[in-house]
Amino acid sequence: MNPTNTSAKPDIRQLTQEELQNYFLSKNEPAFRAKQLYQWLWQKGSKDFSQMTNLSQNLRQQLSEDFTLQTLQLNLLQKSEDETIKCRFALHDHYMVEGVIIPTAERTTACVSSQVGCSLSCSFCATGKMKRMRNLAASEIFDQVISLNELSQKHFQKNLNNIVFMGMGEPLLNYNNTLLAIEKLTQPNALGMSPRRITVSTAGVAKMIYRLADDNPKVNLALSLHAANDAKRSEIMPINEQNNLESLREALQYFQNKNGRLLYFEYIMFKNFNDSLQDAKELVRFCRNFPCKVNLIEYNTVEGTGMHKSEEDALFAFQQYLQAKNITCTLRRSRGKDIDAACGQLANKN
Ligand code: SF4
């Protein structure tokens, strides 16, 4: 089916609270209606005007004539043998995105998408093999989290503890909508989640890291590093050609000076590519620039990439070397492999 915009009416969640106020005033309704409506839209996660029971029947009817309320629909849910849940969501224009819930004994983390597809074409990533079709609206990012939170309550009897922007897409290339979604998710009457429990993960867009530093929404920042050597990094992440390690170092130091938090470096371990002692030395050298933590990630083979996961011995030796050099690092075992929910595997497959 060709994705098309199904309605010429504006989506009500594209209006600011001030614009809502002006709308109500134009209908001879009091300005406080905007606050009531805003609460339904962004705090209670309402999916239909008919649910807004403190607005009159006539007003609800008027709203549905003037606006749409676009929400995403759960299209497919898959549960892994390790309890990881992958959800495919259908958007109003029939595009699909995926989100993942990763439960552990200590916490439940949601991994959300920021774009339909991705333009950055990292060679190891299934999403990178899809074209970028469009950015997600703030409301679509918000809805993913609200849906994943409801599913977490249903399947694990607990709310989400953490949100990571590590699903489909590059969040810093959908900057305004990502920040707006974060603002909505952290307001006290919605999920009320602390921004410190939200991690924005970037493939490394230096210019946007400066902007995030200046706006300082107080979230964590993770860099998908995967190689601390420009030649290797450019080989698997074309974005490194315009945003090399030196430019990223400067941007990240600027960010850290403003934000004051640890930086996270994601490092997927690829067999015979970035898992030698020399690679570990280069990583240590890069990490010395910042208070940081490294997440070493077990790779899940994505067909057609030619990349494979590191052998256990190489993983272990790499981790040992980092620890011996006092670099804090953890080894992330892959979750949800059997349902293609693991890192780099999100691609709208069944
Ligand atoms: S790893 Fe991230 S930035 Fe790279 S192609 Fe995949 S989704 Fe895009």
CATH assignment of the domain containing 27: 1.10.150.530
Same domain? For 200 and 265 the reply is yes
Same domain? For 116 and 38 the reply is no
Q: Is 169 in the pocket of ligand 1 (CB under 6 A)?
A: yes
Q: What separation in Å is there between the alpha carbon of 119 and the centre of ligand 1?
A: 8
| Residue 4 within any structural domain of the chain | no
Full residue range of the structural domain in which residue 24 is found:
13-66
Quick check: is 118 catalytic?
no
Instruction: Give the confidence band of 344 by pLDDT, cuts at 50, 70, 90.
Output: low
pLDDT-above-90 percentage for the chain: 83
Same domain? For 303 and 229 the reply is yes
pLDDT for the residue numbered 2: 39
**Whole-number Å distance between alpha carbons of 155 and 108:** 11
Once rounded to an integer, what is the mean pLDDT over residues 235-243?
97
**Whole-number Å distance between alpha carbons of 222 and 238:** 18
Instruction: Give the confidence band of 343 by pLDDT, cuts at 50, 70, 90.
Output: low
Q: Which amino acid is at 267?
A: Y
Instruction: Give the confidence band of 7 by pLDDT, cuts at 50, 70, 90.
Output: low
| Residue 349 within any structural domain of the chain | no
**Whole-number Å distance between alpha carbons of 319 and 331:** 8
Quick check: is 170 catalytic?
no
Q: Locate 200 and state its tokens.
A: 């924005």
| Domain termination site, one of 30, 48, 66 | 66
| Residue 5 within any structural domain of the chain | no
Same domain? For 59 and 207 the reply is no
Same domain? For 38 and 109 the reply is no
Greater confidence (340 vs 329) lies with 329
* 3-state SS class at 309: strand
Once rounded to an integer, what is the mean pLDDT over residues 71-81?
94
Catalytic pick among 98, 140, 266, 298: 98
Q: What separation in Å is there between the alpha carbon of 309 and the centre of ligand 1?
A: 18
CB atoms closer than 10 angstroms to residue 154: 9
Instruction: Give the confidence band of 5 by pLDDT, cuts at 50, 70, 90.
Output: very low
pLDDT for the residue numbered 336: 77
**What are the two backbone dihedrals, phi and then psi, of residue 117, each rounded to the nearest 5 degrees?**
75, -165
**What are the two backbone dihedrals, phi and then psi, of residue 293, each rounded to the nearest 5 degrees?**
-135, 140
| Residue 348 within any structural domain of the chain | no
Number of residues assigned to the chain: 350
**What are the two backbone dihedrals, phi and then psi, of residue 242, each rounded to the nearest 5 degrees?**
-95, -15
* 3-state SS class at 182: helix
Same domain? For 186 and 258 the reply is yes
For residue 71, is it left (φ>0), alpha (ψ between -120 and 50) or beta? Answer: beta
Once rounded to an integer, what is the mean pLDDT over residues 78-95?
94
CB atoms closer than 10 angstroms to residue 34: 21
Q: Relative to the CA of 224, which ligand 1 atom is closest?
A: 1
**Whole-number Å distance between alpha carbons of 171 and 159:** 23
Same domain? For 160 and 212 the reply is yes
| Residue 2 within any structural domain of the chain | no
Same domain? For 286 and 306 the reply is yes
| Residue 152 within any structural domain of the chain | yes
Q: pTM of the predicted model, to two decimals?
A: 0.93
Q: Is 128 in the pocket of ligand 1 (CB under 6 A)?
A: yes
pLDDT for the residue numbered 236: 96
* 3-state SS class at 208: helix
Q: What is the pLDDT of residues 185-207, one digit of tens each?
A: 998 776 788 999 999 999 999 99
Same domain? For 240 and 314 the reply is yes
| Residue 344 within any structural domain of the chain | no
Nearest to 129 by CA among 272, 266, 303: 303
Q: What is the pLDDT of residues 128-152, one digit of tens each?
A: 788 899 999 999 999 999 999 999 9
Q: What separation in Å is there between the alpha carbon of 307 and the centre of ligand 1?
A: 15
CB 194 within 8 A of CB 158: no
Q: Strand locations in the chain, DSSP E?
A: 73-79, 85-90, 96-103, 108-111, 115-116, 134-135, 162-165, 198-202, 220-224, 263-269, 292-298, 328-332
| Residue 346 within any structural domain of the chain | no
Q: Which residue has the tokens 């606006």?
A: 67
Same domain? For 185 and 309 the reply is yes
| Domain count along the chain | 2
Once rounded to an integer, what is the mean pLDDT over residues 82-101?
95
Same domain? For 51 and 151 the reply is no
Same domain? For 79 and 56 the reply is no
| Domain termination site, one of 40, 66, 92 | 66
CATH number reported for the structural domain that contains residue 98 in this entry: 3.20.20.70
Q: What is the pLDDT of residues 245-283, one digit of tens each?
A: 999 999 999 999 999 999 999 999 999 999 999 999 999
